[in-house]
A = this chain, B = another copy of it.
Amino acid sequence: MPPIPELEAIRKAQILEAALKTISASGYANVTMDDICRAAGLSKGGLAHYYRSKNELFVAVFKEFFERIFQRSKQTMELYENPVDKLLSFDWLYDRNDPDVNVGYPVLFDCMSLAVREKEYRSLFHDWFENWVNLLKDAIDVGLKKGIFRNLDSESTARAISSVYQGIATRWYLDNESHTTKWAVESFKKAITGLLSSNNK
């Protein structure tokens, strides 16, 4: 019987952590199970005991990843009271020293290219979008109730706002020599305040 009852949960967490870092560093397509074994301090057979296939492990890794990002987003938004501040609270996405950012972007891009063809990954994306959009939507609804915003469809505006964050992030990360952090922050603020002002019919 198990030495400690929580051993399985501990091991799985260790493996996920090791796999996440390895995938982030080398890229989904280049990572081998051996790499992950080494990073996790386990043998091939040992790892197979917890995750029976590469695909099973990787799906678990990406799931864990999105959960982390979501929690981070939620916690950061909660630091603010004003709906506008909440909606503009994602500047941590453009901090090159942030550990979530450094690990996260490579994983995110990998996941996107996987999502193109595999519905399991598309579904992970969908859930993440949904969670993110709901955070934003709630803030917009509060703003509408308080009269800060007018004539907005909160859901489609929320989707647009998160898309703007992601679009700017893509540039900022993949071509950082031409896209400074200053540009990224100013741009998302202008774009999002533009989306929130109801001068569109």
- Chain A residues close to B by CB (< 8 Å): 26-29, 105-106, 109-110, 112-113, 115-117, 122, 125-126, 129-130, 156, 159-160, 162-171, 173-175, 177-179, 183, 186-187, 189-191, 193-195, 197, 199-200
Contacts and interface: CB of A to CB of B under 8 A. Distances in A.
Of A29, A129, A167, most B-chain CB atoms within 10 Å = A167
Contact of A174 (B116, B160, B171): B116
A160 B175 contact: no
B112 A106 contact: no
**Chain A contact residues: over half helix, strand or loop, or mixed?**
helix
Given A126-B175, A159-B179, A164-B191, A113 B115 contact: no
B163 A171 contact: yes
A190 B195 contact: yes
B200 A199 contact: no
23 contacts: A27-B113, A27-B117, A28-B113, A106-B116, A109-B109, A109-B113, A112-B113, A112-B170, A115-B174, A130-B178, A156-B186, A160-B168, A163-B164, A163-B167, A163-B168, A187-B195, A189-B200, A191-B191, A191-B194, A191-B195, A193-B200, A194-B194, A194-B195
A183 B161 CA distance: 12
A117 B195 CA distance: 34
Contacts of A170: 112, 163, 166-167, 170
Contacts of A189: 200
A54 to B, nearest CB: 12
User: Of residues A29, A177, A193, A194, which shows the largest number of chain B Cβ atoms within 10 Å of its Cβ?
Assistant: A194
Nearest to A193: B200
A122 B186 contact: no
Contact of A171 (B129, B179, B194): B129
